[in-house]
Structure 1
Amino acid sequence: MTPHRAITSLLAAALTTLLGTGLLAPAASAAAPSAPAAPAAERRKPVIARVVEFSLVNTDNTLLTCAPEQRPHTVRARLVGPRSRVLGTGREGRINVLVHDAGTGSWFWNQRRTPRYDYAGQLGRRGELSLVVDRLGYDRSPLADGNDTCLAAQATMLHQLVQKLYSGDYRFTGDRRTDPPHATRIVVHGHGTGATIAQLEAARYDDTEGLVLMSWPGVSSSGAAVAQAREQAAACLRGASYAAYGRSATAFRRLLFVTAPAAVQRAAARLRNATPCGDVTSLPSALLGSGTSAAQVEVPVLVMYGSRDARVRPGAAAAAARMFRGSRRVTPVTLPGAGSALPLERSAPRTRAAVLSWLGRR
């Protein structure tokens, strides 16, 4: 057994212990304000997407317990936005970096076959430029052994990616002649585990201008979320390299969705990814770290939850807002009737309206 795999096994055992004692499920708090209504008609601009590549080192520069293999990897993403911004040269203003959850992938943010639920595409129609990332171990960014990374390493790689966006040190796939756009400002959007990664990066490096956190699990994990984490940890303890998120497609859908159209749910279930076991077993230190480091985030934060999110307890938005006490401005939003997957629920236009309104104040 390699050293990092041995540490992974120990962390998996610790995770099952923490989940069993309920230490990852704090008490609930009061409800937060609802989101504003969606505009009657969203302005439309032509939107394109181009695949880009980053060379990132799978390492841990945080203080969390972690055992990545310290090697460089190619992490792929898509730039989505107006043609003039995606293919523009020089500095291109704000870039939104979209970080997906465990079990999903970049497809969560970029539903090209169902434009109404295409978060990146619809932001692009309003003039925003987004980078939709496949984290290491997912889809276009494969990792042979899921034990070789962890959530602290994912946060460190996110920091590397942010810095490369500022410097322009990345490239279009298959095109070495065209320079990709540089960012002058960056806002990171994260969902679920991706929100934890985004928050940890912001707390440690303070190199972005804001955070949009959807279904952030740092405050009040539900019984369903605890049970799901326990199942994944048990699979990793049995020697798996990757663990399914949801024991079935139906279980996966119940964790994420309430009102999303059936076609969207079926497509998501087909595209769901197993979670790298290094991410699974580093969950205790990541959640405990995010809970204590939230107060270190200084940039403005938008925290968003659905009122029927199966993975958090009621009142999560208000509870999260109190934890970001070091932020210059915290905006808690609760979407009535929505589940965890806010960009894919029927209230998706209201989710985008709240995000665009918040971005407009940056």
Structure 2
Amino acid sequence: MSVPARLFPALVVALVASVLAAPPTTARPAAGASSAAERAITVTSRAVVFDLVNSSASLVRCQGDNKSYDVRGRLVGPRKAVLGRGGAIRVNVLVHDVGTGGWFWNLRKHPAFDYATQLARQGQTSLVLDRLGYDRSPLADGNDTCLDAQANMLHQVVQHLYSGRYDFTSDATSTPAASHVVVHGHGVGGAIAQVEAARFNDTDGLVLMSWAGANLSELALEQAQQQTSTCAQGADYAAYGASAKAYRRLLFATSPKAVQQTAVRRRNPTPCGDVASLSSTLLAASATAGQVQVPVLLLSGGKDARIRDGGTQDSASTFGSSEKVTTRTFAGAGSALPLEKTAPKTRTAVLRWLRSL
């Protein structure tokens, strides 16, 4: 398939702050599935790896070391689709925020909050990425990448999906190629997804969760300032949330205690290159939102501690060239929508929107 083609010191930092190998596993639908079609789907999860170049592609470049890295993830979906036996497939690429990781979308310890697997039970195939610098995609020095490079690497992932040029880590079976790609981003992952879509126009839709551009709360600004201070002292990585309590306050409102405990144990520090490039990414996202042509679904929680009231609606108005912009706010929910008690409503909204494409 052929597809078309740093920091104003304190002021911009404050603005940016706002922006804020495992064996194959198989799961079957939970007891009490509501339909015969759902009961008939066997869900398979397989580890995959992409060979990507850590480089920036924008005119306002941020630092990337221009080296090749193995960036890993999991392909989760109906067995036939994952194994390339179901014909042309749409792949949902799931891009995580700072402070989390691919686990955010694929929390297998808590099946009711496993976004990727729950979508798979409805026939959807997803790629759960660990971005460079996180979990199974390690980076020795967190200053060696940046958010613009992350957007460029996401573009490479999309292209590799179209061509099938990536690998399962456990066997030599050919990986499936995608006919369509939709990118789902959470928090800063949404900024990465938005920049990629505007710059390359090679996807079929954007699902942006808890991403409201510059409409960030004082709490989010304080967190960004803390990370900036840590990195300015010579660190490679900066903790997201000064404590477990602070981390939970940033992300959760109604998520069950056990889910929050799992998330705290699995939280990741942020590469300092990503922290240092927040401002330029915020500016790029603001400047290019009007270039996004594909349909956009904006989802937010009514109790998201990181977004100012009305921020999601303000962001929606910037997508002037999109075919369709849909917004939905879930009352009482925090930022981590797939892990909040309203997770089923989030998935229902996403599935309804996907089926309308």
TM-score > 0.5, shorter chain as reference? yes
Question: Please, which moves more after superposition, 83-92 or 182-191?
Answer: 83-92
Kindly provide the amino acid, as one letter, of the partner of residue 67 in structure 2: R
Partner of 2:195: 200
Kindly provide the amino acid, as one letter, of the partner of residue 185 in structure 2: G
TM-score (norm 1): 0.90
For 1:91 and 1:63, the matched residues in 2 are separated by 39
SS in 2 for 1:309: coil
The 3 A distance-change label for structure 1 pair 274 and 79 is same
For 1:25 and 1:82, the matched residues in 2 are separated by 38
The answer to whether the 8 A contact 1:217-1:312 is kept is: yes
1:114-133 map, 5 Å: 114-133=110-129
Partner of 2:204: 209
1:18 Cα shift? 2.3
1:92 Cα shift? 3.0
Match of 1:301 among 292, 296, 301: 296
The C-alpha deviation readout for 1:197-248, integer Å capped at 9, x for no partner, is 0000000000000000001141301101100000000000000000000001
Partner of 2:153: 157
Match of 1:272 among 267, 272, 277: 267
Which ranges in structure 1 are unaligned for 5 or more consecutive residues?
1-10, 27-39
Partner of 2:12: 18
Partner of 2:107: 111
Partner of 1:252: 247
Question: Please, which moves more after superposition, 281-290 or 316-325?
Answer: 316-325
The answer to whether the 8 A contact 1:91-1:182 is kept is: no
1:327-346 map, 5 Å: 327-346=322-341
CA RMSD of aligned residues (A): 1.6
TM-score (norm 2): 0.91
The 3 A distance-change label for structure 1 pair 25 and 341 is closer
The C-alpha deviation readout for 1:112-134, integer Å capped at 9, x for no partner, is 11111000000000000000000
Q: How many residues align?
A: 336
The answer to whether the 8 A contact 1:16-1:234 is kept is: no
1:74-85 map, 5 Å: 74-85=70-81
For 1:167 and 1:246, the matched residues in 2 are separated by 39
Match of 1:174 among 153, 170, 177: 170
Partner of 2:142: 146
The answer to whether the 8 A contact 2:80-2:86 is kept is: no
For 1:128 and 1:298, the matched residues in 2 are separated by 23
1:15 Cα shift? 5.6
The 3 A distance-change label for structure 1 pair 92 and 15 is farther
1:262 aligns with 2:257: yes
Question: Please, which moves more after superposition, 141-150 or 217-226?
Answer: 217-226
The answer to whether the 8 A contact 1:15-1:233 is kept is: no
Kindly provide the amino acid, as one letter, of the partner of residue 223 in structure 1: E
1:19 Cα shift? 3.9
For 2:244 and 2:222, the matched residues in 1 are separated by 16
The 3 A distance-change label for structure 1 pair 285 and 239 is same
For 1:172 and 1:19, the matched residues in 2 are separated by 40
Kindly provide the amino acid, as one letter, of the partner of residue 62 in structure 2: C
1:208-247 map, 5 Å: 208-247=203-242
Partner of 1:5: none
For 2:155 and 2:232, the matched residues in 1 are separated by 30
Kindly provide the amino acid, as one letter, of the partner of residue 279 in structure 2: P
SS in 1 for 2:178: coil
Q: How many percent of aligned residue pairs carry the same amino acid?
A: 56
The 3 A distance-change label for structure 1 pair 91 and 70 is farther
For 2:118 and 2:283, the matched residues in 1 are separated by 34
The answer to whether the 8 A contact 1:58-1:68 is kept is: yes
Kindly provide the amino acid, as one letter, of the partner of residue 259 in structure 2: V
The 3 A distance-change label for structure 1 pair 25 and 238 is closer
The 3 A distance-change label for structure 1 pair 253 and 318 is same
The answer to whether the 8 A contact 2:95-2:193 is kept is: yes
Q: Which segments of structure 1 move beyond 4 Å, counting only runs of 4 or more?
A: 22-26
For 1:41 and 1:304, the matched residues in 2 are separated by 25
Partner of 1:92: 88
Question: Please, which moves more after superposition, 333-342 or 40-49?
Answer: 40-49
For 2:62 and 2:267, the matched residues in 1 are separated by 25
The answer to whether the 8 A contact 2:17-2:223 is kept is: no
